[in-house]
Amino acid sequence: MLLLPNLFPSLFSPLARSYPSLFSEWNVPRPMHSHLLNRALQQQTSNAQEADLWSPLPNQGWEACADNQDTQSLRTKSQLYIQVFLDGRLNQQRMGICDAVAVAKILNATLVIPYLEVNPVWQDTSSFADIFDVDHFISVLSDDVTS
C-alpha cells in the first residue's frame, strides 16, 4: 500500500503535497526570496549607526509655544468644584483621576478627592485613601490644582 504512490505517481499527483516521496530528504528547499535576503545583508547597520539611533534628536529650530512663567501668580481663587465618581478596576480609576486632574487644571477648579464607587462585579470597597496617599496627592498637585 505504501509503494502505490511511488509506483503510480500520476494517480496520486493531487496528493503530492500532502504525501512526501521516499526521497524527500534529498530535496533541499530553495530560498524563495534570496534577493531580499541579500539586500538585507548588504544594508546591515553598523554599531555606530545603532548607537546613533537612540541619541536625542536635534531641536531643529522648534521652540516651546507656552510661556514658562510662574502660573501660580496668574491663578485666582477658584469658585468651581469638580468631584468625580469612578468605578471599574484600578487602571480605569487611575485614568479617571488623571482626566479629572487635567479638567480641573484647565477650568481652574478645585478638585474634590475622587470617590471610588463599589463595582458589583469586583465587590471592591476600597476608598481613595485606602489606595492612594491623600496628603502626597494634594502636595504633588498643589501647584496645578487646588484641592
The pLDDT tens digits of the residues spanning 28-73 come to 667 778 888 888 777 776 666 777 777 777 777 777 776 655 555 4
- pLDDT, one tens digit per residue, over 88-126 is 888 999 999 999 999 999 999 999 999 999 877 878 888
- Judge whether residue 143 has pLDDT over 90: no
Q: Which pLDDT score is estimated for 105?
A: 92
Instruction: Specify the DSSP element, H or E, that contains 81.
Output: strand 81-82
- Count H helices and E strands in the chain, helices first: 6, 4
Residue whose grid cell is 476600597:
126
Specify whether the CB–CB gap between 83 and 112 falls below 8 A. yes
Q: Which pLDDT score is estimated for 75?
A: 61
Name, in order, each residue with C-beta under 8 angstroms of 5's C-beta and a sequence gap of 6 or more.
11, 12, 15, 19, 21
Specify whether the CB–CB gap between 58 and 87 falls below 8 A. no
